[in-house]
A and B are shown apart, each in its own frame.
Chain A
Amino acid sequence: MFKGYDPGKFYDEMFSADGSVRTQCDPLLDRFSELDEEDFLMRKSNSELYFLRQGITFNVYHDEQGTERIFPFDPVPRVMPSHEWQELEAGLTQRIMALNLFLHDIYHDQQILKDEVIPRFFVENAKHYRPEFRGVDVPGDIYIHICGSDLIRGADGQYFVLEDNGRCPSGASYLLENRNALKRAFPKIFKDMGVRSVDSYPRDLVNMLRHISPYREGEPTCVLLTPGCYNSAYFEHCYLAREMGIDIVEGRDLVVVDNFVYMRTTHGLKRVDVIYRRIDDDFIDPVVFRKDSVLGVPGLMNAYKAGNVGLANAVGTGVADDKVIYYFVPRMIEYYLGQKPILPNVPTYLASEEKDLKFILKNLPELVVKAANESGGYGMLMGPSASKEEIEEFRERIIADPRNYIAQPVISLSRSPTWCDGAMEGRHIDLRPYIIYGSDIKIVPGGLTRVALTKDSLVVNSSQGGGSKDTWVLRD
């Protein structure tokens, strides 16, 4: 299967630069080599059928047939040795602790701003900063209960944090379903390799939800709030709600009475204690935020401020997703924890700093430029592959609004062998681990490995032609 595979000049997850197999992949490669192509393809198409039958699909909109496609899945897993994962785990734990302390701080005393570690201007001008929530206490002082920090690997194999997703990170269901699919397709390989289980995720998630209930007595009622069944992550909402054994609700199922939240049931109103919300701040309460939102629950923010309902994630966490604030995370780690950051950021230039701005404008064709508050691969300039017009367009945008742009050198993401139209080829990947912060911090081993299926592309987002792989963290 791997005949003629070329690792290229990149860091390859399976082969060293000299072409030898990395130790952790040895058994995997042996097994795969025993498979002939026909057998491999049969297993691959069985997995795809499994996804289709399970309805793990997304709709291709503006297509009259309403065609549903499966989220592309590559059956060659990414294998990670135990020591590598332990370091990532330590780095991510450190990072989410610092982010939480930062959020608590800026919504209370703002010591970090007073000490001028982060310029006040950046926080107060962050798009998702919610000054109206200053002084509001949240259960357990936890803000980011679920965090999806994207990790990438450079040419020498060094891991970097690319961005933090502290609002409503999605994709955990794909991580779990990829595992199910791969277990079915290659049960023997899986068993022989000693792969760490990911099954605990839904349990960790629901334990976290129970932990943030404002009431200590009795069994709390937790629900998952979804924007509705036409949202492309609806499959995930259903999947997680079912795995956790909690109700999935839409905004119209909830009502606020005297600052308590209730759901409308066939037997009248039933009180809700914790909401795992998959709706952004802007839409969650039309009384406080966007007036035109029909997805939210009028009065929810009052109930939340009164301490009568727990929300995961808390309101106002989006400030930590701002790519300018990202720049300061290593400083937060030093400021709050007195530690050196274990996982470095990608070197970042802030367009609002005069020296950096000059550098950015001079080197646009070599840099990646990102808008501070966009995600999903939008609002981005890939200098080396951009046209002159695109570069000029971004130059103007940056000059007009330097606060909202950052630039980074192009990191040539590591690659993993991926089945592409009849042959194994290297494709660029990243990793999104899911960190849960409740009574303690839990990270499910590995995470969702996203693959840029287009040759040479560095963009792994599903909206831009990305797929995914199972991630195998090995036992010691």
Chain B
Amino acid sequence: MLSRVANTFYWMVRYVERADNLARLIDVNQQLLLDSESLDSERLRGFWRPIILSTGDEEVFHSLYDDAESGEVIHFLTDDERNPNSIKSCIGLARENARTVRDQLSDELWEELNSLYLWARSAEATRLLVADPAEYYQRIRRSAVTFLGVAASTTLRNEAWEFMGMGRHLERADKTTRFLDVSSYLPDATEGEENAGPLHWSAILRSCGALGSFRASHREINDNNVVDFLVFSGEFPRSVRYCIEKLDVSLHRISGNPRGTFSNDAERETGRLLADLNFGSSADAFEVGLHGFLDSLQDRFNTIGEAIFDTYVLLPERIDVCPADESPSPSAIALWQMQQQQQQ
């Protein structure tokens, strides 16, 4: 398939997954906030900071807002279009990517994403976010899940499917580590109060949709068990190991190379990480410290993402055999005008 199209599929799904996870992340924080005693504004800032950090937009946030009260942060993360990683922006970007490959999507798949997009921009959505935020996030999550369900039942199992799968699993693995990382920042949770632990762990499990399946396999909610489950489980579909396993399968289906070997950097990095996860346990995480462990996982996800891009998008684009005469690169406006002029 075309490299550009492969990249578009990958990002379309990544953005849907990102919107879904962000909705979950905000939800877990709001739940935790309900359980915490009233916090002063400084501690409140400390409370929301990891989430803003997790979307990588701290600078943008501070350039737009003076305060980091819950209301501002929620608006910033949810429906502020000035934030390129807000839920609303992610839905817009997913839909823009989908529009580009509209010819290769089933009608149902396109309609699901387009309906979500239209809804997120509607007055009804704005009202709901104020009146019943839980319902708002629920709606986003439901639609994201429906999108994936429709994709699974209407998409050919071809390369496009594998690129979609890679986008989904890499984003999901990353966000699962962000959920866990929330615990590293909780005010007071780690110092002193013993019983604060299970409370925030269960909130984190719930927002991953993992509480039920966790209870079925573990008796006690504690840090070791939760990390074992969300990072090292081979069966829970949001665990890091599960996602990286799927990523590894997709990479090898695309290249046709047998698993356990590699033909490019993306396969090599993924294989290495998968081996660490297959043979590791929560003890490894707590040995280096959970926060540092999660940080290094996130770095490795980024390396893998870049390697996928290099292998399948950048390399084919670098082939440039018939050089055009040197000309200044046109402005965005000139490009737009050119695109517009092409019709009768």
Judging by beta carbons under 8 Å apart, are B322 and A231 in contact? no
Judging by beta carbons under 8 Å apart, are A170 and B344 in contact? yes
Judging by beta carbons under 8 Å apart, are A234 and B4 in contact? no
Q: Cβ of B343 < 8 Å from any Cβ of A? A: yes
Stretch at the interface among A28-36, A245-253, A350-358: A245-253
Judging by beta carbons under 8 Å apart, are B102 and A235 in contact? yes
Judging by beta carbons under 8 Å apart, are B322 and A253 in contact? no
Stretch at the interface among B13-21, B210-218, B332-340: B332-340
A: interface residue count bin: 35 or more
Q: Cβ of B288 < 8 Å from any Cβ of A? A: no
Give the contacting residue for A238; candidates B103, B115, B312, B343; CB below 8 A: B103
Q: Told that A266-B2, A266-B254 touch, could you supply 14 new A-B pairs with CB distance under 8 A?
A: A53-B111, A54-B107, A230-B339, A230-B340, A231-B342, A238-B103, A253-B4, A264-B2, A265-B316, A280-B341, A291-B325, A294-B330, A295-B335, A376-B344
Judging by beta carbons under 8 Å apart, are B4 and A252 in contact? yes
Judging by beta carbons under 8 Å apart, are A295 and B339 in contact? yes
- With contacts A283-B338, A293-B338, A298-B323 known, is A241 near B2, CB below 8 A? no
Q: Which residues of A contact B (CB under 8 A)?
A: 52-55, 148, 165, 167-170, 227-235, 237-239, 241-242, 247-250, 252-253, 255-258, 263-266, 268-269, 278-280, 283, 286-287, 291-295, 298-299, 302, 321, 375-376
Q: Which 6 interchain pairs have the tightest Cβ spacing? A: A299-B322, A242-B103, A264-B316, A238-B102, A238-B103, A298-B324
Neighbouring B residues of A227 by C-beta, 8 Å: 338-339, 342
CA distance A232 to B5 in the complex (A): 20
Judging by beta carbons under 8 Å apart, are A287 and B325 in contact? yes
Judging by beta carbons under 8 Å apart, are A266 and B344 in contact? no
CA distance A299 to B118 in the complex (A): 42
Closest-CB distance, B117 to chain A (whole angstroms):
9
Give the contacting residue for A280; candidates B104, B115, B342; CB below 8 A: B342
Residues 1-28 of B at the A interface (beta carbon under 8 Å):
1-6
| Nearest-CB residue, chain A, relative to B111 | A53
Judging by beta carbons under 8 Å apart, are A230 and B327 in contact? no
- Residue-wise, chain B 302-344 has the 8 Å CB interface mask toward A (1 for contact) of 0000000000100011011111110111100011101111111
Judging by beta carbons under 8 Å apart, are B338 and A295 in contact? yes
Judging by beta carbons under 8 Å apart, are A286 and B325 in contact? yes
With a 10 A CB-CB cut-off, give which of A52, A238, A247 has the most chain B CB atoms: A238
- Residue-wise, chain B 155-173 has the 8 Å CB interface mask toward A (1 for contact) of 0000100000000000000
Judging by beta carbons under 8 Å apart, are A266 and B1 in contact? yes
CA distance A316 to B207 in the complex (A): 61
Judging by beta carbons under 8 Å apart, are B321 and A54 in contact? no
Judging by beta carbons under 8 Å apart, are B110 and A264 in contact? no
- With contacts A229-B99, A266-B312, A292-B327 known, is A168 near B344, CB below 8 A? yes
Neighbouring B residues of A237 by C-beta, 8 Å: 103
